[in-house]
Amino acid sequence: MNGSKKSFWLDTGAGMTVISNALVSDCNINIVKEQELEVGNSTNQNFSADLAFIDSIIIQGLTIFNQPTLVLANDLLMIQNQIMQVDGIIGWDIIQHILLEIDYGRKQVIIQKPQRKDDVENNLFFCGYPILKVKGQNQVPLYFGLDTGANKTHFGQPLLSKIVDLKMAKR
C-alpha cells in the first residue's frame, strides 16, 4: 500500500475497504477533511470514520490506483488473528473488480486482473450482498451468500431441500 507491505483480510461482507488511523501516517495517506462520516457494522454498531484515498495498492501484481477507503480509529480495527497481524480489510468495493480464487485445499488465495471470457458465466455477483452460484447434483443451481469475514456458516431449508439423500450428523 503506497509502497509499504501490509496484511489485509479479504471480506466480501465489508462494503468498503477499511484501514486504521495508524496506516494513514505509516503509508502517507491523505484524509479527505470535508466531513466526518458515521458507518455501521454487521452487529448494528455505529462508528465515526474518515474518508481517504490510497494512491496505490499492489496485490499479487495487480495494481489499484486512487482507492477510496474508510479510516477507523486504531482500536476499532484490532483483529484477533494468532497467525499474523491484520492491518486492514479489503472490501467488496475492490473484490467485485478482481478475479478471486480461494483454494482451501492448498491454503492459497489467487488475486489477478479479470479476463472476460464470453463463454464463461460469472458465478459471483452482487444483489445487495455478494452471491456465489454453484451447481449441485443434476446441475441444480445453488446460491450462497458469501461473507469471507464471517465466522459461521448457515444453511436454510431452501438449500437443504435441494440436496438428495441428505444425511445430517451433530459434531
**What is each CA distance from 106 to 10, 76, 103, 169, in whole angstroms?**
17, 31, 6, 27
- What confidence tens digit (pLDDT) does each residue in 88-121 have? 899 989 988 888 888 889 988 888 888 777 766 7
| Average pLDDT rounded to a whole number, residues 27-48 | 79
Q: Is the pLDDT of residue 79 over 70?
A: no
Task: Determine the pLDDT at residue 113.
Answer: 85
Task: Determine the pLDDT at residue 43.
Answer: 64
Whole-number Å distance between alpha carbons of 10 and 14: 9
Task: Determine the pLDDT at residue 63.
Answer: 92
Task: Determine the pLDDT at residue 42.
Answer: 64
Whole-number Å distance between alpha carbons of 134 and 45: 33
Angle formed at CA 30 by CA 29 and CA 34, multiple of 5 degrees:
150
Whole-number Å distance between alpha carbons of 130 and 11: 10
Whole-number Å distance between alpha carbons of 19 and 74: 9
How many domains does one find in the chain?
Answer: 2
- In terms of residue numbers, what domain contains 153? 124-160
pTM for the structure as a whole: 0.74
Q: Is the pLDDT of residue 5 over 70?
A: yes
Task: Determine the pLDDT at residue 55.
Answer: 95
Q: Tell me: do 129 and 105 sit in the same domain.
A: no
Whole-number Å distance between alpha carbons of 3 and 57: 8
Q: Tell me: do 57 and 98 sit in the same domain.
A: yes
Are the CB atoms for 46 and 39 separated by under 8 Å?
A: yes
Q: Tell me: do 95 and 134 sit in the same domain.
A: no
Q: Tell me: do 25 and 82 sit in the same domain.
A: yes
pLDDT interval class at 67 (50, 70, 90): very high
Q: Tell me: do 12 and 95 sit in the same domain.
A: yes
Task: Flag whether 40 is in a domain.
Answer: yes
Q: Tell me: do 65 and 100 sit in the same domain.
A: yes
